């Protein structure tokens, strides 16, 4: 358990740093947002970025800064000087009502916020995150931050089976089976929102998106990824497997260099 919690704190700290590195929590947004993960052996608790640090920025989070909370949003562990994140009810209520969700990300990404204020439905504009915007996303129709149990439960109820929910004029939340999944969903959501904004500027509010029948074909194909059925790939895939997940691996490596114990310190014990 102690080792597991240590690992979860490390992964959550890295995920918060990745959000900053991706530009999803930068500039005026540098301290805003939080990634969390359910503790696998204690699913009624989760680890999340808190508040009250000397340097309160997602880009600077360390494993020892992480806060542990229960499903009512109470802090049950973590550094004494830190509190839960203010919007902890967003996390606790989703975990409470969605046992399949293992990780949640909430940030205030600029293009996603912009499109939510314009009240323009996000259309599929590129392959990255196509499945996220195939159907209209649920919207919390109020820019108020999520502080109370009622607001948290409304968020969880609106989310339903979706992988993402928009908070009008405020931000978005994404959920996943892992930190990697919820972070990448958020990155893809913001990419679709950005492409929608570009199209809106270039061609007006009635711009085209990828036709839904073609989007469905791509979604189906990507879900199967039948590379190994292609004759020119069969042998190679058998040997090397199908490689995915490069974006997460690259950014997780990039942001975690100072968290790794230097070899010389290890030698000194
Ligand atoms: Zn927020």
pLDDT digits (tens, 9 = 90+) for 215-254: 999 999 888 877 888 888 888 877 777 667 789 999 999 9
* Tens-digit pLDDT profile for residues 147-182: 999 999 999 999 999 999 999 999 999 999 999 999
* Least confident stretch, 1-10, 111-120, 205-214: 1-10
Number of domains composing the chain: 1
| Mean per-residue pLDDT of the chain | 93
Q: How many Å lie between the centroid of ligand 1 and the Cα of residue 145? A: 6
What is the CA(258)–ligand 1 centre distance, in A?
28
pLDDT of residue 260: 75
Contact status, residue 49 vs residue 35, Cβ threshold 8 Å: yes
pLDDT of residue 269 exceeding 50, the answer is no
Scanning the structure block, which residue is given the tokens 């989703």?
Answer: 94
Q: Is 153 exposed, middle or buried (0-12, 13-18, 19+ CB in 10 A)?
A: middle
Q: Look at residue 209 and tell me if it is in a domain.
A: yes
- DSSP for 183-248 reads HHHHHHHHHHHHHHHHHHHHH-TT-----HHHHHHHHHHHHH-GGGGSTTTHHHHHHH-----HHH
Position 18 in a domain: yes
CA of residue 51 to ligand 1 center, whole Å: 13
The answer to whether residue 269 sits within a structural domain is no
pLDDT at residue 8 tops 50: yes
* pLDDT(69) > 80: yes
φ/ψ region of 162 (left if φ > 0, alpha if ψ in -120 to 50, else beta) reads beta
Q: Is residue 76 part of a domain?
A: yes
Summarize the confidence of residues 89-103 as an average pLDDT: 98
pLDDT value of residue 262: 56
Percent of the chain that is helix, strand, coil (3-state, to 5): 50, 15, 40
- Residue 122 contacts by C-beta under 8 Å, 6 or more apart in sequence? 115, 133, 137, 189, 192, 193, 196
Which one-letter DSSP state was computed for residue 144?
-
Integer Cα distance of 15 and 17 in angstroms: 5
**pLDDT for 237:** 77
- Quote the ligand 1 centre to 214 CA distance (angstroms): 34
**What is the edge-to-edge ordering of all strands in the sheet holding 67-70?**
75-77, 67-70, 42-48, 34-39, 103-107, 171-176, 164-167, 139-140
Q: What are phi and psi of 184, to 5 degrees?
A: -65, -35
Cβ–Cβ < 8 Å for 24, 186: yes
- 204: region left, alpha or beta (phi > 0 left; psi from -120 to 50 alpha): left
State the CATH number of the domain containing residue 59: 3.40.225.10
Give the residues across from 173 on adjacent strands: 106, 165
Q: How far is residue 114's CA from residue 241's CA, in Å, rounded to a whole number? A: 40
- Give 153 Cα–ligand 1 centroid separation in angstroms: 15
Residue 146 pLDDT > 70: yes
Taking the centre of ligand 1 as the mean of its atom positions, its distance from the CA of residue 188, in whole angstroms, is 18
Cα 117 to ligand 1 centroid, rounded to whole Å:
15
- Residues pairing with 106 in the sheet: 34, 173
Q: Which pLDDT does position 267 carry in this prediction?
A: 55
CA of 95 to the centre of ligand 1 (A): 17
Q: Give the range of the structural domain holding residue 140, as residue numbers without chain letter.
A: 2-264
Q: What percentage of the chain reaches a pLDDT higher than 90?
A: 84
- Kindly give the distance from the C-alpha atom of residue 127 to the centroid of ligand 1, in angstroms, as a whole number: 27
Averaged pLDDT for residues 16-32: 96
The answer as to whether 185 is a domain residue is: yes
Q: State the distance from the centre of ligand 1 to the C-alpha of 246, rounded, in angstroms.
A: 28
204 assigned to some structural domain: yes
Domain membership of residue 164 (yes or no) is: yes
Distance 142 CA to ligand 1 centre (A): 12
Q: What is the pLDDT of residues 98-125, one digit of tens each?
A: 999 999 999 999 999 999 999 999 999 9
Residue 138: inside a domain: yes
Residue 60 is predicted with a pLDDT of: 96
Ligand 1 is an ion; residues with CB less than 5 A from it: 171
């Amino acid at each position: 358990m102690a080792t597991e919690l240590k690992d979860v704190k490390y992964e959550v700290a890295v995920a918060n740093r990745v959000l900053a590195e991706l530009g999803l929590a930068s500039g005026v947004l540098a301290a805003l947002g939080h990634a969390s993960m359910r503790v696998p052996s204690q699913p009624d608790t989760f680890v999340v970025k808190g508040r009250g640090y000397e340097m309160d920025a997602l880009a600077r989070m360390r494993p020892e800064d992480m806060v542990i909370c229960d499903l009512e949003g109470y802090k049950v562990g973590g550094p004494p000087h830190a509190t839960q994140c203010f919007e902890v009810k967003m996390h606790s209520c989703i975990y409470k009502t969605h046992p399949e969700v293992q990780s949640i990300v909430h940030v205030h990404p600029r293009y996603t916020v912009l499109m939510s204020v314009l009240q323009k439905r996000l259309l599929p504009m590129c392959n990255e995150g196509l499945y996220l915007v195939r159907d209209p996303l649920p919207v919390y129709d109020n820019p108020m931050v999520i502080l109370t149990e009622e607001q948290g439960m409304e968020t969880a109820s609106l989310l339903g089976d979706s992988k993402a929910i928009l908070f009008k004029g405020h931000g978005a939340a994404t959920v996943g089976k892992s930190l990697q999944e919820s972070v990448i969903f958020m990155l893809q959501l913001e990419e679709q929102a950005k492409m929608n904004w570009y199209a809106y500027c270039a061609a007006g509010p009635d711009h085209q998106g990828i036709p839904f029948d073609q989007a469905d074909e791509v979604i189906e194909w990507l879900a199967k990824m039948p590379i190994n059925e292609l004759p020119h790939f069969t042998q190679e895939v058998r040997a090397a497997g199908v490689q995915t997940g490069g974006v997460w691996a690259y950014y997780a490596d990039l942001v975690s260099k100072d968290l790794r114990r230097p070899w010389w310190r290890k030698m000194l014990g």
